[in-house]
Chain A
Amino acid sequence: MAYQEIKLYQTGTFVAGNRLLGPEQRSVQARMGRSNSLTSGHRACQGCGEALGARYVLDAAMRATGGKMVAVNSTGCLEVFSTPYPESSWQLPWLHSLFGNGPAVAAGVAAALKAKGREDIRVVGQAGDGGTVDIGFGTLSGMFERGDDVLFVCYDNEGYMNTGVQRSGATPPAAVTANTKAVGREPGNAFGQGKNVPLIAMAHEIPYVATATVAELRDLEYKVERAMSFRGARYLHVFVPCPLGWGAASADTIKLARLVKETGLFPVFEAENGEVTEVSKIRRQVPVEEYLRLQRRYAHLFGDPGRPDIVARLQAGADRNVARFGLLPEGDE
């Protein structure tokens, strides 16, 4: 972590708060006065990682901007479970337009605020992986290329969950979805090229790109704060488990997010202007199997006879990430 890790024995900066820390040293989430940008009563499933991620990101952004911000949201789970007429769980200014245009709408909002001389009001756009990686990709790239003053956040739960768990460009190989079932010679999603949007964002050389998970609250909050310290197009890719879509226990959401990093499957890093600047090291490396076994979408890989060859390929992918990004602490390679 690039942020100032507090070496306080007991829990340090691993937990949300800790009474031994001064209020300023605790996470935004630990404070009683946190914004609760997404408040109770929403219709997300039990244990929804996206609901958690959205509150984490927006509360941190509200703090970083002194409450002077607006949010733009693409169609998806987050938008649907938070705004079914007549109930809205949002407590900040929020606009939903369409599925594929989140980045463009956010760009328009930022332009309007600039024209009005209100650049003190900041813009955050947010969407799921579907709305970012697939249908929103064109507008996202346009936003990056123009350098619109928007922080765009992708909550990646690796599928079109709102419509019933279909495969998206972010669905990992071998995962079962509603249209990549465990039948045929190559069960689950195919081993394709993948679409690494954080790297694509870096190729646009925008000021700030970062990845994060909901398991590391302090890291995520830090990255939001850091992102808000820049002007121009910024991108944050947050890994958020979906218990329902993945066939995982609702109480495992944070554990899964932790494991996806600790296996090396999801590199956590920051980049500025196209170059990686910080890598968050793996703390206690584990084999991918430990992560996969917790999710029914990978159940077809185990059992009798299972598919150890596919597991091995997934492990190879994780190992490649470890080598490519330098995810292990020095001396542990």
Chain B
Amino acid sequence: MDKPFAITLDIGSSRANKTGSWRTERAVYTNRMPPCNDACPAGENIQAWLYEGEEGGAGYERAWHKIMEDNPFPAIMGRVCYHPCETACNRGQLDESVGINSVERFVGDEAIRQGWTVSVEAPPTGKRVLVVGAGPSGLSAAYHLARRGHTVTIREAGPMAGGMMRFGIPRYRLSRDVLDAEVQRILDLGVTLELDAKVTGLMTLKDEYDAVFLAVGAQLGRRTYIPAGSAAHVLDAVDMLRDLETGEKPLLGRRVAVYGGGNTAMDAARTAKRLGAAEAVVVYRRTQDRMPAHESELAEAEDEGVLFKWLTTIKQVDSGKLVVERMELDESGFPQPTGELEELAADSLVLALGQETDLSLLDGVPGLVVDDGVVAVGPDMMTGCPGIFAGGDMVPYERSVTVAVGHGKRAARNIDGWLSGAAPEPVARPALATFDTLNTWYYADAPRSHRALLDRARRESTFDEVVLGHDESTALMEARRCMSCGNCFSCDNCYGVCPDNAVIKLGEPGENYLIDLDYCKGCGLCVAECPSGAIQMFPEEI
């Protein structure tokens, strides 16, 4: 075509005009910390494994491997974790938090169903590590250490591995098949497990190993002095639950009282009902809102007909009855005795007043600091004695399976560093992806799917798992409710909304987009319209 001068132009000739020179700030793809990741005591990269899982199909296995990088117990977590991730989940401010826990359970169960495995990629280091205690913390440490190529031996005092997972959490919350499968997977990595092998003198063993991780838990029920008649039937909740696991069925009678307000108290009460008690009453000296037990446990207990007596303390235990005193809250919210007594019929009293650690194995170990019944550790999980690390219920942190698992991972990383002589590199924590950094308009209206519960009749009479898992389509839908806070999930919005066509789509998995700095005018639309807040504006140097 014979184009007349200046009247008619070639197409796309504007690309010679680099409008990038206009901007005073530029868009940069960043990552912010998703609140779920931030809240997870085990340090799981939840956003990342939900990202894999929501693709379905082969995505589930990828999701599982992602979880396994941090936590070897997804199926267990999906049953017993109190999911602080869900509490922190930004979606809770939109409609309801994502059912992360239910998806983790699905993925974990799928792994067991399909027989997925992990392997040790690292070359053997030749270093030997002793793990004392085969509870969640010890097993987690052993797992991570084994994957790093170390030779791990676990010495467990009891007859089976699992710790509180087996001896503290009843079957109706965690099926033993699931527990066994996830424990066995760790052992399959080449970890040596010695059962019935209580460690009494740590210093004698220390020289056989290059490092030690202590995770003996808090297996001793705390005692309190209550005057009791000779025929009074008083048990410790921890002992009761443990005995149940080893095959003994405690005799509790028709009416059982449980003293305490924590999860163990709930477990004790619900177990009592399953063992045939017609009535289980939880006696707690404070009010419901102050009880340490998790809301879901309380709700399930109530569903099962467990009764509650708030603001009540036990003064005396006799055969067949208790003498209890009503409490009253003072101005500062503390319960004070009122002097009003009453009788409560009870064939047995189960004490669930907290747990303590058996620290006898630490005798003679130099440098340890023990405070308030637990062992002090640094942020690297090392005790005052070099080479001896500790975690789980025996160190001064919040007590839960997930926290324990997180300790095991952190300890393993630091043990690995200690063994190689170089401290591990600090993990950078980006800024939190708070709700205001998101553009939630873009998320489809999607109510949450809640897991079904076993019907009441079956719950009363069996130890079958009370909370059922999701089927695949429900788990998938739930995973897709994730807003991918702070992390790009390739929605193409930035690529679509730039008026200057200044976002380049790379189309490679994992490498999504580039800002074309030749043309970006710094208008900020990509940032404003990124649903997950994964882009930020930074000022240009002028």
Interface, chain A (partner B; CB < 8 A): 7-12, 14-20, 26-27, 29-30, 32, 36, 38-44, 46-49, 51-52, 55, 82-83, 85-92, 217, 243, 249-255, 258
- A41 to B, closest residue via Cβ: B14
Query: Across the interface, do A18 and B492 meet the contact criterion of CB distance under 8 Å?
Result: yes
Query: Across the interface, do A88 and B499 meet the contact criterion of CB distance under 8 Å?
Result: no
Query: Across the interface, do A39 and B480 meet the contact criterion of CB distance under 8 Å?
Result: no
Q: Which of B18, B23, B497, B522 contacts A16 (CB 8 A)?
A: B497
Complex interface: chain B residues within 8 A of A48 (CB): 499
Extra contacts, 7 of them, besides A27-B496, A87-B13 (Cβ < 8 A), are A9-B477, A9-B480, A14-B443, A17-B492, A40-B516, A44-B499, A243-B523
Complex interface: chain B residues within 8 A of A251 (CB): 523-525, 527-528
B contacts with A: majority SS: loop
Contact size class for B? 35 or more
- B501 to A, closest residue via Cβ: A40
Task: Say how far A183's CB is from chain B's closest CB, in angstroms.
Answer: 31
Query: Across the interface, do B524 and A11 meet the contact criterion of CB distance under 8 Å?
Result: no
Query: Across the interface, do B524 and A249 meet the contact criterion of CB distance under 8 Å?
Result: yes
Cα distance A83–B6 in the bound complex, in angstroms: 10
Knowing A39-B12, A87-B9 are in contact, say whether A11-B444 is a contact too (CB < 8 A).
Answer: yes
- B9 to A, closest residue via Cβ: A88
Query: Across the interface, do A254 and B444 meet the contact criterion of CB distance under 8 Å?
Result: no
Query: Across the interface, do B14 and A42 meet the contact criterion of CB distance under 8 Å?
Result: yes
- What 8 A-B pairs come out closest when comparing CB atoms? A17-B492, A16-B496, A251-B524, A41-B14, A12-B444, A46-B523, A9-B480, A47-B523
Complex interface: chain B residues within 8 A of A42 (CB): 14, 17, 19, 500
Query: Across the interface, do B55 and A20 meet the contact criterion of CB distance under 8 Å?
Result: yes
Complex interface: chain B residues within 8 A of A38 (CB): 501
Knowing A9-B477, A29-B495, A250-B525 are in contact, say whether A18-B490 is a contact too (CB < 8 A).
Answer: yes
Is B481 interfacial (CB 8 A cutoff)?
A: yes
Q: Which of A26, A36, A86, A252 contacts B492 (CB 8 A)?
A: A26
Is B11 interfacial (CB 8 A cutoff)?
A: yes
Cα distance A62–B10 in the bound complex, in angstroms: 19
Query: Across the interface, do B507 and A32 meet the contact criterion of CB distance under 8 Å?
Result: yes
- B500 to A, closest residue via Cβ: A40
Is B442 interfacial (CB 8 A cutoff)?
A: yes
Query: Across the interface, do A250 and B496 meet the contact criterion of CB distance under 8 Å?
Result: no
Q: Which of B442, B484, B502 contacts A40 (CB 8 A)?
A: B502
Is B343 interfacial (CB 8 A cutoff)?
A: no
Cα distance A200–B66 in the bound complex, in angstroms: 58
Q: Mark B185-201, 1 if CB is under 8 A from A, else 0.
A: 00000000000000000
Cα distance A187–B373 in the bound complex, in angstroms: 75
Cα distance A16–B513 in the bound complex, in angstroms: 14
Complex interface: chain B residues within 8 A of A8 (CB): 444, 480
Complex interface: chain A residues within 8 A of B491 (CB): 11, 15-19
Complex interface: chain B residues within 8 A of A36 (CB): 501
Of A8, A9, A39, A217, most buried by chain B (CB within 10 Å of CB) is A9
Query: Across the interface, do B444 and A10 meet the contact criterion of CB distance under 8 Å?
Result: yes
Cα distance A20–B55 in the bound complex, in angstroms: 6
Cα distance A252–B519 in the bound complex, in angstroms: 19
Cα distance A51–B55 in the bound complex, in angstroms: 34
Query: Across the interface, do A41 and B519 meet the contact criterion of CB distance under 8 Å?
Result: yes
Of A10, A43, A83, most buried by chain B (CB within 10 Å of CB) is A10
Query: Across the interface, do B493 and A17 meet the contact criterion of CB distance under 8 Å?
Result: yes
Query: Across the interface, do B499 and A15 meet the contact criterion of CB distance under 8 Å?
Result: no
Instruction: Identify which of residues 436-450 in chain B touch chain A, using a CB-to-CB cut-off of 8 Å.
Output: 441-444, 446
Q: Which of B6, B493, B499, B524 contacts A86 (CB 8 A)?
A: B6
Query: Across the interface, do A254 and B497 meet the contact criterion of CB distance under 8 Å?
Result: yes
Task: Say how far A256's CB is from chain B's closest CB, in angstroms.
Answer: 11
Is B518 interfacial (CB 8 A cutoff)?
A: yes
Knowing A32-B507, A41-B19, A251-B527 are in contact, say whether A10-B492 is a contact too (CB < 8 A).
Answer: no
Is B242 interfacial (CB 8 A cutoff)?
A: no
Is B505 interfacial (CB 8 A cutoff)?
A: yes
Q: Which of A44, A52, A85, A252 contacts B9 (CB 8 A)?
A: A85
Knowing A17-B491, A19-B490, A250-B524 are in contact, say whether A55-B499 is a contact too (CB < 8 A).
Answer: yes
- A10 to B, closest residue via Cβ: B480
Query: Across the interface, do A90 and B11 meet the contact criterion of CB distance under 8 Å?
Result: yes
Query: Across the interface, do A87 and B497 meet the contact criterion of CB distance under 8 Å?
Result: no
Instruction: Identify which of residues 514-537 in chain B touch chain A, using a CB-to-CB cut-off of 8 Å.
Output: 516, 518-519, 521-525, 527-529, 531
Instruction: Identify which of residues 411-470 in chain B touch chain A, using a CB-to-CB cut-off of 8 Å.
Output: 441-444, 446
Complex interface: chain A residues within 8 A of B489 (CB): 10, 18-19
Complex interface: chain B residues within 8 A of A255 (CB): 528
Is B15 interfacial (CB 8 A cutoff)?
A: yes
- B50 to A, closest residue via Cβ: A10
Is B538 interfacial (CB 8 A cutoff)?
A: no
Knowing A10-B482, A41-B17 are in contact, say whether A15-B6 is a contact too (CB < 8 A).
Answer: no
Query: Across the interface, do A11 and B12 meet the contact criterion of CB distance under 8 Å?
Result: no
Q: Which of B11, B502, B518 contacts A88 (CB 8 A)?
A: B11
Complex interface: chain B residues within 8 A of A41 (CB): 14-19, 500, 519
Task: Say how far B133's CB is from chain A's closest CB, in angstroms.
Answer: 41
Task: Say how far B60's CB is from chain A's closest CB, in angstroms.
Answer: 14
Query: Across the interface, do B480 and A20 meet the contact criterion of CB distance under 8 Å?
Result: yes
